Amino acid sequence: MKSGLRTLVRPSLILTYVILLLGTVICLFPFYWMASNSFKPNYEVIKLPPNLLPRKWTIENYLYVFESMDVGRTFFNSGFVAAAQVLLNLLLSSLVAYALAKLRFPGKSALFNVVIAQIMIPFYLFIVPLFLLMDKYRLIDTYWALIVPGCVSSFSIFLLRQAFLTVPNDYIEAALVDGANHFYILFKICFPMIKPMAFTVALVTFHWSWNSFLWPFLVVVRDSMTTIPVALARYQDLQGIMSFRWGAMMAALTIAAVPILIFFLFAQKRYVEAFTMSGLKG
C-alpha cells in the first residue's frame, strides 16, 4: 500500500500533470477568450484593461452578426460544397484506387507515378492559369468553380489503394466467377470491407473542403456564394472599414467554430486516427 501511494504521487508524475495542465490552459484559453468576448457588450470588449470574465452578458453581438451576414446561406454553401467534394472524391478516387490495386492495364505504373507526383505538386504552380481557365469559361462565382477543383485527390487515391490492396483476391475471383462485373465488386464487396479507410478519406476531405480558403477566396464574387472562411475574411475586412466591432467579430468566429467543434468532439477518435494515419502513411 505504501509503495502504491508513492508511485501515485511520484514527483515527476506530479510535474507531468502540472505541465500538461498548463499546456491545456494555453491551448484552451484563446477559445474561451473568443467565446466570452462574443457575449460582452461592445464597450466592454474594447475596454482597457480587458475583463477576463464578462461583467455584463449580452447576445447583442450575435444578433448583429445574424443581421449583417447571411449566416444560413454561408453555412449552406460550405456544407453543399463539402458534401459534394466528399462524395465525388470517394467515388472517383475509389475507381482509380481500385483499378490501381486490383485491375491490370497498360500504363498502370505510369499512372501510379502520376498520382504520387501530383501529391507533391504545389498548388501555386498552376493556381493562376486554373483561375484564368475558370474565368474564360464563365465558371467564376459558381458552385462548379468551388467544387470541381479538388473533387479528386491524389492523396485519397493513394490511401484507398493501400486499403484495397489488403482485400484478398479470392473474394474478387469468386465474384468474377459468379459473373459480377468490377463495378459491383468495387462497391458491393470491396468498399464495405475498407470502411475505416473510407471514413478517414471522407473526414480528411471534409475537413479540407470546409476550411479551404485561398481558392474559394479567389473564385467567389457575390456574397451569396461565400463559404464560411471567405465570409469571415470579408467580415473582418468590413469591420475594419466600419471601425472594428471585435465583439461582433468574435461572435461570427464562434458561430463558425461551434459546429465543427461539436462534430469534432463526437468524431474525436476518428479525427485523431485520420490525421495520424494520413500522416504516418506518408
Among 64, 79, 80, 130, binds other proteins (CB under 8 A): 130
Distance CA 98, CA 93 (A): 8
Distance CA 95, CA 116 (A): 16
Binding string to other proteins for residues 140 to 179, with x set by CB under 8 A, is what?
--------xx-xx----x----------------------
Distance CA 244, CA 239 (A): 5
Q: Which of residues 189-208 bind other proteins (CB under 8 A)?
A: 207
Does 181 contact other proteins by CB under 8 A? yes
Does 49 contact other proteins by CB under 8 A? yes
Distance CA 11, CA 271 (A): 33
Q: Find the part of the chain contacting other proteins (CB under 8 A) among 19-27, 62-70, 139-147, 188-196.
A: 19-27
- DSSP conformational letter for 153: -
Distance CA 85, CA 207 (A): 11
Distance CA 151, CA 170 (A): 32
Q: Find the part of the chain contacting other proteins (CB under 8 A) among 61-69, 79-87, 132-140, 192-200.
A: 132-140
As measured in angstroms, the least distance from the Cβ of 108 to other proteins is: 8
Does 43 contact other proteins by CB under 8 A? no
Q: Which of residues 86-125 bind other proteins (CB under 8 A)?
A: 92-93, 95-96, 98-99, 103-106, 111, 114, 118, 120-125
- Side chain identity, residue 68: S
- Side chain identity, residue 200: T
Among 1, 48, 53, 177, binds other proteins (CB under 8 A): 48
Q: Is 229 in contact with 212 (CB distance < 8 Å)?
A: yes
Does 76 contact other proteins by CB under 8 A? no
Instruction: Give the end-to-end CA distance of the chain in Å, rounded to a whole number.
Output: 47
Binding string to other proteins for residues 229 to 268, with x set by CB under 8 A, is what?
x--xx--x---------x--xx--x--xx--xx-xxx--x
> What is the Cα gyration radius of the chain?
24
Residue (57 or 266) nearer to other proteins, CB: 266
Does 71 contact other proteins by CB under 8 A? no
Among 19, 59, 116, 221, binds other proteins (CB under 8 A): 19
Distance from chain centroid for Cα 9: 41
